[in-house]
Amino acid sequence: MNRIQGYVVKVWPLFPAILYLVSFQFIVLIYLLVLSLTAAGEPGSFPTVSTFSQLFGDRQFWQALNNTIVFTVIGTPLELLVGLFTALLLYRSFFGRNLIRSMFLIPLAIPALVTAMLIYILFDYPGGHVNHLLLGNYPILPRLINAPVSWRASQFTAMMLSLIGKVWRDMPISMLILLTGFNTIDSEILDAAKTMGATLRHRLFTIILPLIIPSISIVLLLRSVEMWKEFIFPFVLAGRFRFLGTLIDYYYNDIGNPHSAAAVALVMVVCIITTSMVLSKVVSLMKKVMLAV
């Protein structure tokens, strides 16, 4: 009896987390699975893979999947590099560091939808501010183009605008995680390496990066998940060039097909889990390579 009580005492603090996982993860996942394995308009057809068959035969799905893969593959390391650069800038002590650090946190204070709309206005066609700048409509500025550019009409530029908005909006999160890793490094180690003649590049790749591998892995995992399920920036800026997140909205709201929407959501979950496993292996390999240098 005492052993059972001791076990309950140890597990009890985890009860809120268990309740959250069961209520908002497991039950929702089961519901999506049942919904996706039921044919549209045929409530008694469970289980059937007809929804997935139709989905995999839909060209829009493959285009959305390809766009999301490109968005994730480019955006995840980009957020890591931008966060690493800003963290390195703020790691050193200098006058006004706290003020500048606070300024770098401003993107987090702005809702993602507001950020997306600001970028939309800046790159609007034909009267956006970027087009005005490139057309030389402001005093002193030279004329660089002869006609306004429709930035969101091209898949490449629309995805780039979405990436710019996403990276700018989420950069402070990566920066703070990496700064936490930097603060765990003993300054005496860096001072000793500098005294022995180690260059900044040598200190970065042989001391700093290997010691902040846990922070790097957290950034990669969290940012990759956010990239996969991103909705606001592609919805506002990419428009008809669908991502998995916007495709779910298209199936559910525009077409009224929750079964296909659930199937896309499950595909997204599988992609997120697969990406997390691959990134874990990559980070582990990277750590071995850095420690061997």
Q: What pLDDT sits at residue 44?
A: 67
Q: What is the pLDDT of residues 231-248, one digit of tens each?
A: 999 999 988 889 999 999
Please name which of 231, 192, 194 lies closest in space to residue 71, comparing C-alpha atoms: 231
Q: Which domains does the chain have, with CATH numbers?
A: 59-115+154-292 (1.10.3720.10)
Q: What pLDDT sits at residue 78?
A: 93
Distance, CA of 202 to CA of 193 (rounded, Å)? 9
Report phi then psi at 215, rounded to 5: -65, -40
- Global pTM reads 0.84
Which residues have CB under 8 Å from 30's CB, separation 6+?
Answer: none
Please name which of 155, 182, 177 lies closest in space to residue 80, comparing C-alpha atoms: 177
Distance, CA of 201 to CA of 83 (rounded, Å)? 18
- Residue 115 CB neighbour total at 10 angstroms: 19
Residues of the chain short of pLDDT 70, as ranges, are: 1-15, 17-18, 21-22, 41, 43-45, 200, 290-293
Q: What is the pLDDT of residues 112-159, one digit of tens each?
A: 999 999 999 999 888 788 888 888 887 787 888 888 888 888 889 999
Distance, CA of 273 to CA of 44 (rounded, Å)? 30
